[in-house]
């Protein structure tokens, strides 16, 4: 399970007052509010269908980072 959070750059961007109302910015603001989330949680709460794609783009740009994950065996 992948878990994402904002980097220091992402935290600074989340507090900007001139952000447009786009899917990517909704993801940034959602992660700022909850600190860590899975792509499924982002998809439900940030109202975006392509959460995994947006998180991948934001990770490449240094705005988010993956902090957890791996296989869980029961």
Percentage, residues of the chain above pLDDT 70: 92
Host domain of residue 9? 3-68
Give 52's pLDDT tier (boundaries 50, 70, 90).
confident
Q: Residue 33 CA to chain centroid, in angstroms?
A: 10
- pLDDT (0 to 100) of residue 7: 96
Percentage, residues of the chain above pLDDT 90: 57
State the pTM of this model.
Answer: 0.84
Furthest CA-CA distance within the chain: 46
Does the residue 50 lie in any domain? yes
Does the residue 27 lie in any domain? yes
Spatial CA neighbour of 35 closest among 69, 71, 65, 1: 65
Q: Each residue of 20-30: pLDDT tens digit? A: 888 899 999 99
User: Quick check: 72 and 6 in contact, CB under 8 A?
Assistant: no
Does the residue 74 lie in any domain? no
- pLDDT (0 to 100) of residue 9: 95
* Domains: count for the chain: 1
């Amino acid at each position: 399970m992948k878990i994402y959070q904002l980097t220091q750059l992402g935290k600074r961007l989340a507090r900007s007052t001139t952000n447009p109302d786009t899917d990517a910015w909704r993801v940034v603001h959602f992660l700022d509010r909850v600190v860590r989330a899975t792509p499924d949680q982002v998809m439900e709460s940030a109202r975006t269908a392509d959460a995994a794609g947006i998180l991948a783009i934001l990770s490449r740009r240094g705005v988010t980072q993956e902090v957890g994950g791996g296989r869980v065996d029961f």
